[in-house]
């Protein structure tokens, strides 16, 4: 049996801005579905044929707030994208003005950085420089 993450579902303040960020990270991502049912909130799926991110607006009539403190309150802190060319992806993000997140220490077997999208969500971008799991995720 193979287990994998098929999708993540995130409520965002601006679906179009979230789509723009994700397509900056991975230009081949496509919008699999985008719908605003009558009398309801908008939602969209963006990604590949194997994996996607489900984006949705807050439910109608809700008073959406974002006072969660990442790494201090319960909730998702970031999602990580493994990329083939870290330098190309981070250059695209910086050219579009996305803000870098927490600084990271250099590592001999991976390159990584954190970026915030315009909705305030943090995303990790990582390129592994080794195929050896023990080197990729050295916990020392």
> Which CATH number covers residue 96?
3.10.180.10
Q: Please indicate, yes or no, whether the overall pTM of this predicted structure exceeds 0.85.
A: yes
Specify if 36 maps to a domain.
yes
Q: Which of 33, 59, 85 is the last residue of a domain?
A: 59
**Among the listed residues 33, 109, 122, the one whose alpha carbon sits nearest the alpha carbon of residue 80:** 122
Distance, in Å, from the CA atom of 50 to the CA atom of 47, rounded to the nearest integer, reads 8
Backbone angles phi, psi at 76, to 5 degrees: -80, 130
Q: How many residues does the chain have?
A: 140
Specify if 67 maps to a domain.
no
pLDDT by residue, tens only, the chain of 140 residues: 678 889 999 999 899 999 999 999 999 999 999 999 998 889 999 999 999 999 998 876 666 666 777 777 777 889 999 999 999 999 999 999 999 998 999 999 999 999 999 988 999 999 999 999 889 987 76
**Among the listed residues 62, 78, 60, the one whose alpha carbon sits nearest the alpha carbon of residue 120:** 78
Look up the domain containing 38 and give its range.
1-59
């Amino acid at each position: 049996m193979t287990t994998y993450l098929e999708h993540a579902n995130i409520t965002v303040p601006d679906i179009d801005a979230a789509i723009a960020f994700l397509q900056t990270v991975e230009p081949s991502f496509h919008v699999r579905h985008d719908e605003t049912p009558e009398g309801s909130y908008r939602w969209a799926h963006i990604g590949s044929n194997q994996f996607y991110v489900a984006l949705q607006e807050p439910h109608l009539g809700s008073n959406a707030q974002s006072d969660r403190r990442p790494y201090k309150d319960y909730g998702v802190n970031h999602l990580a994208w493994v990329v083939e060319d870290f330098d190309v992806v981070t250059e695209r993000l910086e050219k579009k003005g996305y803000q870098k997140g927490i600084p990271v220490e250099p590592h001999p077997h991976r390159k990584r950085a954190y970026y915030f999208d315009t909705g305030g969500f943090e995303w990790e971008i990582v390129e592994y420089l080794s195929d050896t799991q023990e080197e990729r995720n050295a916990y020392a």
